[in-house]
């Protein structure tokens, strides 16, 4: 357990897909720097089930403690339905409770971000994807007669073939899924950046789990530390260089707003002192819409069972 008011060179908030890599890379780059890695969740409650790719949906139902339980506001374009927004609270982050499908993201999205945030265009981030993929295995799902029949039906319907949605300019079309799965003892196993990069193995990384970050501490507009709660105790830790905030698409802006970075009108509702009036913080979240399609087959036919996640029937 870290001591109250201790000092670290870097503090990384979130031991998920991004934070695990950042903490490990920092630790490996200089053994003299100290890194504090703070995670809201803990170790997986059942590693066997958690790391079996085809059990991903059952894991979500059986272990709600690894999820924050976020829900959307009623969606006007979905008959005011409230949608569950799965966000992991566990070492490994959402890579531990998703369907293990590996998607870099759309090139057009990155280029749009790059127009307002230099350094985030596709050509800027591509080398980092390629670097990570040298360490984490990306497995392409194998096709067979059944999958090929599905592809033929998609082609007949008019959808284009996409040979690789991670390298093609567009993600549109039918394609074989790519997965973050590795083979262990002849069985497929879920891979996360935490289990692969293992930040805790470095002596200069201190890992704190089941700790909720309540706010980033500022001196003027300079971040100087982090406040977090673990159990019934509150702690504050100072930082010498930088704080890396990688707590996910929802918790990241939440922590920023609790720290005084956000729309001053929203912060004023909760008597939060404004550090920076950032009107876009906590807004404009766009998520993919996942739609399932059912089909029937003749009684004398069977559907293959695959070891991957989204191809399990």
pLDDT 10s digits, 152-191? 999 999 999 999 999 999 999 999 999 999 988 888 999 9
Candidates 75, 240, 25, 15; CA nearest to 226 is 240
- Indicate whether 230 pLDDT > 70: yes
pLDDT in tens, 116-156: 999 999 999 999 999 999 999 899 998 898 899 999 999 99
pLDDT in tens, 185-202: 888 999 999 999 999 999
310 falls in which pLDDT band (50, 70, 90)?
A: confident
pLDDT in tens, 67-124: 999 999 999 989 999 998 989 999 999 999 899 999 999 999 999 999 999 999 999 9
Q: Give the separation between CA 269 and CA 217, rounded to whole angstroms.
A: 20
pLDDT in tens, 19-34: 999 999 999 999 999 9
CB-based contacts of 101: which residues, under 8 Å, 6+ apart?
Answer: 177, 178, 179, 180, 309, 310
Q: Give the separation between CA 9 and CA 32, rounded to whole angstroms.
A: 9
- Outline where the chain has alpha helix (H): 19-29, 47-50, 56-62, 107-116, 122-133, 145-157, 193-197, 248-258, 264-268
Tell me the average pLDDT of the chain: 92
- Indicate whether 301 pLDDT > 60: yes
- Indicate whether 312 pLDDT > 70: no
Q: Which two tokens stand for residue 258?
A: 């609790």
- Given this model, what pLDDT does residue 311 score? 64
Calculate the alpha carbon distances from 149 to 15, 34, 174, 243, 303 in Å: 40, 54, 12, 50, 12
- Given this model, what pLDDT does residue 303 score? 81
Is the pTM for the entire model greater than 0.85?
Answer: yes
Q: CATH number of the domain at 1-102+177-313, please? A: 3.50.50.60
Q: What does the domain layout of the chain look like in residue ranges?
A: 1-102+177-313
Q: Which two tokens stand for residue 109?
A: 């999205």
- Given this model, what pLDDT does residue 5 score? 46
């Amino acid at each position: 357990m870290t001591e109250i008011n201790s000092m670290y060179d870097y503090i990384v908030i979130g031991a998920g897909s991004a934070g695990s890599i950042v903490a490990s890379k920092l630790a490996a780059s200089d053994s003299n720097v100290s890194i504090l890695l703070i995670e809201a969740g803990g170790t997986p409650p059942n590693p066997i089930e958690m790391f079996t790719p085809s059990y991903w949906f059952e894991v979500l139902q059986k272990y709600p403690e690894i999820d924050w339980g976020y829900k959307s506001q009623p969606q006007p374009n979905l008959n005011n339905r409230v949608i569950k927004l799965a966000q992991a609270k566990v070492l490994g982050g959402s890579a531990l409770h998703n369907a293990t499908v590996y998607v870099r993201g759309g090139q057009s999205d990155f280029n749009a971000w790059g127009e307002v945030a230099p350094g985030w265009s596709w050509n800027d981030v591509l080398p980092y994807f390629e670097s990570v993929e040298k360490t984490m295995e990306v497995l392409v799902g194998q096709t067979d007669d059944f999958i090929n029949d599905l592809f033929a039906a998609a082609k007949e319907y008019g959808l284009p073939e996409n040979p690789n949605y991670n390298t093609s300019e567009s993600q549109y079309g039918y394609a074989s899924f790519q997965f973050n799965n590795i083979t262990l003892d002849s069985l497929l196993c879920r891979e996360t950046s935490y289990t692969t990069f293992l930040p805790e193995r470095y002596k200069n990384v201190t890992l704190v789990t089941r700790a909720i970050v309540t706010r980033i501490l500022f001196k003027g507009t300079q971040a100087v530390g982090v406040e977090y709660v673990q159990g019934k105790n509150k702690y504050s830790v100072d930082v010498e260089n930088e704080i890396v905030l990688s707590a996910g698409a929802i918790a990241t802006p939440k922590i920023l707003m609790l720290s005084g970075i956000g729309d001053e009108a929203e912060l004023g509702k909760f008597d939060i002192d404004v550090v920076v009036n950032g009107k876009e913080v906590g807004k404009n979240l766009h998520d993919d819409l996942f739609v399932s399609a059912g089909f029937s087959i003749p009684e004398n036919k069977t559907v293959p069972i695959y070891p991957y996640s989204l191809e399990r029937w």
